[in-house]
Amino acid sequence: MPKGAALETFLQKSISKYPDIRSISLCSSEGTELCCVNREDCTQDESYNLVPSFTVSAEQSSRLRLGNVVYTIVWNDRSIVLQFKVELVVVSVLLEESANIGIMDEFIPLISETLKPFCVTLSANERK
């Protein structure tokens, strides 16, 4: 399981493998950034923390009894933001505005499976 530098290396390799990805950020449900990697041409301003928007969507969906939010996709003027949860960690992926969203069907299970042990550990630590 990737930890620390190994986690960043794994995420950087993911960015290299999927050229439409500009940034990957891992945050706790409360918004604390755990790890963030950017493609070289992606500025820090572009990879801002979007966890509150995911959390609000998930809470609202639950209140309306619409079921659990599995992931969200938001189209902005210059990018697409994909967010999903692995345990208590929100994964935010910033994509090119012309990204092939279908490729993310391959990416989401891959990154979720790889990150799950890290996220389970984080979840256990937050419960203490």
Question: Among 73-77, 94-98, 124-128, which is the least confidently predicted range?
Answer: 124-128
Q: Output the CA torsion sign for 64, 66, 68, 69.
A: negative
Q: What angle do CA 58, 96, 104 make, to 5 degrees?
A: 55
Residue range 32-52, pLDDT digits in tens? 788 888 887 765 555 455 656
**By the 8 A CB rule, do 22 and 96 touch?**
yes
How far apart are the C-alpha atoms of 45 and 100, rounded to whole Å? Answer: 23
Q: What is the 3 state secondary structure string of 62-87? A: HHCCCCCCCEEEEECCCEEEEEEEEC
Global model pTM greater than 0.85? no
How far apart are the C-alpha atoms of 54 and 119, rounded to whole Å? Answer: 17
What is the per-residue pLDDT for 3?
Answer: 56
